[in-house]
Amino acid sequence: MPEADNAEEKSYFEDIPQRNSAFFLKGAGAYDWGMQNRLARVFNPDSGKTVMLAVDHGYFMGPTSGLERIDLKIVPLVPYTDALFCTRGILRSVVPAATRTPNVLRASGGPSILKELSNEQIAMDMEDAVRLNSCGVGVQVFVGGEFETQSINNMTRLVDAGYRVGLPVLGVTAVGKDMVRDAKYFRLATRICAELGAQMVKTYYVPEGFETVTASCPVPIVMAGGKKLPEIDALTMAYRAVQEGAAGVDMGRNIFQSDSPVAMIQAVRKVVHEAMKPEHALELFRTLKSEFTQPVEA
Ligand code: 5RP
């Protein structure tokens, strides 16, 4: 038992009202503490942005170029990442549990690239996401796709399960085969995800009207990278997306298929968190690339 606290003088600061501070993230003011805290681990509260590293491609594509050995090529990037977007299989098998970097887990799956991709189902229990100390789960939503309703149902079921434990859901807008990738499509797809409960949405960048996509989506949008581009183009795309309202990026191939992934992720961080201009970020990329040789242990 601690001894009784008999101090005469205590500091109650009666004249200073307790301050209520607004939560920093768009649309997230009404969530419970655990949900907000997890979001504050994915998005940096100082910049309001995130650089997520997407390495979940194997869940339908197998050992994608650059991800053949996640232990050797991706684990060294984890310290530069705000949140690792991966499958639970990769997390358990190769990501050291001592990492301080939060994870967001791919929670939908089913078909491989050999089949109809929109025919996904929920691929993990929310209980396992809690067990893995996840800060979110991601689910593919195929607006306009053959299994549109099923994929939206996957998302809404995960949103309900997430609210039970305080875990946010990332709705990932997958482009249906016959849909045009334009602002009109992404306004539709991102808004559906948010209206049906996703606390964050991932979508592709479009050069025309991206600011209308971010403006009409009431929750944070993170930009997906898409296929590998020259570094200057990928940095420019990330810069524009953030300037036009994105709360960061969830990039994969444009980082891990770069000549120097560790240099590229640091350059992307500067663009996202510090609004560094793409040409300066490219210079930084080149400098870091010349300084760094990624060790591959035998
Ligand atoms: C797949 C995904 C991936 O995480 C993401 O699209 C891959 O990132 P990138 O396009 O930047 O390689 O959601 O549908």
Among residues 10, 26, 115, 202, the one annotated as catalytic is: 202
Taking CA atoms only, the protein residue closest to ligand 1 atom 14 is 174
How far is residue 253's CA from residue 229's CA, in Å, rounded to a whole number? 9
Q: Give the per-residue pLDDT at 5.
A: 82
Q: Give the per-residue pLDDT at 176.
A: 59
Instruction: Tell me which DSSP letter residue 87 carries.
Output: -
Strand-pair category, 108-109 with 121-122: antiparallel
Mutate to test the pocket of ligand 1, among 57, 84, 154 (most ligand atoms within 8 A of CB): 57
Mutate to test the pocket of ligand 1, among 52, 56, 120 (most ligand atoms within 8 A of CB): 56
**Amino acid letter for position 106:** R
Instruction: Tell me which DSSP letter residue 227 carries.
Output: S
Q: Give the per-residue pLDDT at 57.
A: 95
Q: At what angle do helices 278-291 and 261-274 cross, to 10 degrees?
A: 150
Neighbours of 182 (CB within 10 A): 13
Q: For 127-175, what is each residue's pLDDT tens digit?
A: 999 999 999 999 999 999 999 999 999 999 999 999 999 999 999 999 8
Nearest to 115 by CA among 51, 60, 41, 154: 60
**Amino acid letter for position 239:** Y
Q: Is 253 in the pocket of ligand 1 (CB under 6 A)?
A: yes
- pLDDT < 50: residue spans in the chain: none
Q: For 72-85, what is each residue's pLDDT tens digit?
A: 999 999 999 999 99
* Residue 32: strand, helix, or coil: coil
At CA 137, angle to CA 111 and CA 56, rounded to 5? Answer: 50
Q: Is 202 a catalytic residue?
A: yes
Chain centroid to CA 147: 24
